[in-house]
Structure 1
Amino acid sequence: MISDLDRTIENILTDEIPIQNGEIDIKFDQPTREWSARLSRPTINLFLYDLRENNVLRQHQWERMMEANGNSHTHDISQKRTPFRIDCHYMLTAWAADPQDEHRLLTRAMLALFRFPILTPRQLTGELENQPFKLQTRLASHDKLTNPAELWGSMDNEMRPSISYIVTLALDPWKAVSGPAVRTYTLDTGQAESLPDLHRLEEGTAVTNATIGGIITKSKEAQSGLQVTIKATGQSTVTDKNGRFILGALPYGSHTLVVWSSDGKPKEKEITVPDDNYDVEI
């Protein structure tokens, strides 16, 4: 994937500078003394010197996966942990026989990269085309490359102007986990016999309530913003953007679910709590 990022950056510089007939080389090498001595033409070099996780963008929650047809409202669901966000740190330098030519190369390269704080889909190549997030870039960040002399010293080369260029990639090592969707969960409350050693309610004091969830569809398409009510109790909620609803504090037994469609006509469905399906097709 990182090699695809290198190709993407090379294509941006080639198109935006522009570079014709190979008059300028674009490389991704470590700029050691031996390497720079072998250069035969003006060169823009982007040395990938560091990779680290972006903690600011770190997410711990699981995401629900879509089916191939774009639906997420099935009785079996797939979930997957969110990808890691990795900052790729490049050191941008220009190499030419004359310092003024180097400065011109640096300016042209910076102008080209500054134009794209977010890489566009048409610019991405290879595995980057399937990135789940937009590829953010940062050029010449003030808090990066704060001690370039140390970096140049480690490469045994003379210090020269260098600019930080950071691209944030998503790396996904996780596999989706599939299983049946949870439709009902229950909560028992009452008087405990003994806590914390014995987790059991005294006989006759337990009260069981259930929370249920389902999906409202029309012609198999999820319906958002519809009111869903339990008849006779007044408990009510509204479906989310995926057509899902959740209703809580329901006693076990028979209930009537009422869905108010966009045309104002109610659709009723008899349900039994607990059950494995509370979906309604209107």
Structure 2
Amino acid sequence: MIHEVDEVLRGMLRGGALAGTGVEIAFDAPTRDWAARRNAPTLDAYLYDIREDANRRERGAVAVRDERGFVVSRRQPPRWFRLSYLITAWTKRPEDEHRLLSAVLATLLPQEVLPPAALTGALADLGLAVPITVAGPPAESRSLADIWSALGGELKPSLDVVITAPFPAYPEYDAGPPVTEGAAVRVRGVDGTLEDSAERRHQPRHFSRNAVRRAPGARSQ
């Protein structure tokens, strides 16, 4: 699932305001050694944090239907995970890096969810909207300064992009065969036999006195 989100994000960064620029897209940790090897304009989307969004957790079971709409199996609801990317621009001049970050903002800000047509694999099979937030405040448990310190580099302008993606929950249980016949009602007579049974058809019909309804105007015998 994570690699599928990577590919969708890569496609988004290559399009929009960055289409035709030839900027490289990387997902490496932006360490000093990595930065020293850059010889072309590069956008780096470093996945620095993965954690479950507990507020989205659901209970119960989800029905899985086939193309005819029949329930073929049941599974637990998907679990949602926040994938946090640190997006940085790497060029020879700070001004060019700022232009690249501006282009990233122009490309991603209009998107509230990942484009459904770009989803593949498990993300597409689930058929759920995958939200994306851009340049929001980082998680309280980790600051950007802590991230750069852990990478061994100097603080650099960056964009925090968070994609909250569903992850299929297992196992999946097969459902029973669908009901293909309608419900039927069988009526019992006063003698206890079923109305459509052979026994009932070959016996004289008896009625209780209370079950006989007189026609209007009829005299009692």
TM-score range with shorter-chain normalisation?
A: 0.7 to 0.9
Bigger strand fraction: 1
Is there any run of 5+ residues in structure 2 with no aligned partner, and where? 189-221
Alignment of 1:149 with 2:145, yes or no, is yes
- Out of 93, 96, 103, the position equivalent to 1:108 is 103
CA offset at residue 270 of structure 1? 3.5
Decide whether aligned partners of structure 1 residues 174 and 126 sit closer, same or farther in structure 2, where only a CA change above 3 A counts: closer
Decide whether aligned partners of structure 1 residues 169 and 148 sit closer, same or farther in structure 2, where only a CA change above 3 A counts: same
RMSD: 2.7
Would you say how many aligned residue pairs link Structure 1 and Structure 2? 187
Decide whether aligned partners of structure 1 residues 51 and 107 sit closer, same or farther in structure 2, where only a CA change above 3 A counts: same
Q: Which amino acid aligns with 1:157?
A: G
CA distance in 2, matches of 1:178, 1:3: 28
CA distance in 2, matches of 1:108, 1:20: 12
Identify the residue that residue 81 of structure 1 maps to in structure 2. 76
Decide whether aligned partners of structure 1 residues 136 and 30 sit closer, same or farther in structure 2, where only a CA change above 3 A counts: same
CA distance in 1, matches of 2:27, 2:156: 17
* Residue pair 2:64, 2:73 contacting (<8 A) in 1 also: yes
The SS at the match of 1:269 is coil
CA distance in 2, matches of 1:170, 1:132: 10
CA distance in 1, matches of 2:150, 2:187: 71
The SS at the match of 2:18 is coil
CA offset at residue 92 of structure 1? 1.1
Q: Deviations over 1:129-188 (max 9, x none)?
A: 22342111111112438621111111111111122111111111313223559xxxxxxx
Identify the residue that residue 20 of structure 2 maps to in structure 1. 20
Decide whether aligned partners of structure 1 residues 20 and 126 sit closer, same or farther in structure 2, where only a CA change above 3 A counts: farther
| Identity between Structure 1 and Structure 2 (%) | 27
Is there any run of 5+ residues in structure 1 with no aligned partner, and where? 182-214, 221-256, 258-267, 273-282
CA offset at residue 125 of structure 1? 3.5
Identify the residue that residue 94 of structure 2 maps to in structure 1. 99
With the length of structure 1 as denominator, give the TM-score of the two structures: 0.60
Q: Which moved more, 1:104-113 or 1:165-174?
A: 165-174
Identify the residue that residue 46 of structure 1 maps to in structure 2. 45
Alignment of 1:31 with 2:26, yes or no, is no
Q: Which amino acid aligns with 1:2?
A: I
Decide whether aligned partners of structure 1 residues 271 and 14 sit closer, same or farther in structure 2, where only a CA change above 3 A counts: farther
Identify the residue that residue 185 of structure 1 maps to in structure 2. none
Identify the residue that residue 123 of structure 1 maps to in structure 2. 118
* Residue pair 2:50, 2:83 contacting (<8 A) in 1 also: yes
Decide whether aligned partners of structure 1 residues 44 and 270 sit closer, same or farther in structure 2, where only a CA change above 3 A counts: same
Higher relative contact order (CA 8 A, sep 6+): 2
Bigger helix fraction: 2
* Residue pair 1:79, 1:178 contacting (<8 A) in 2 also: yes
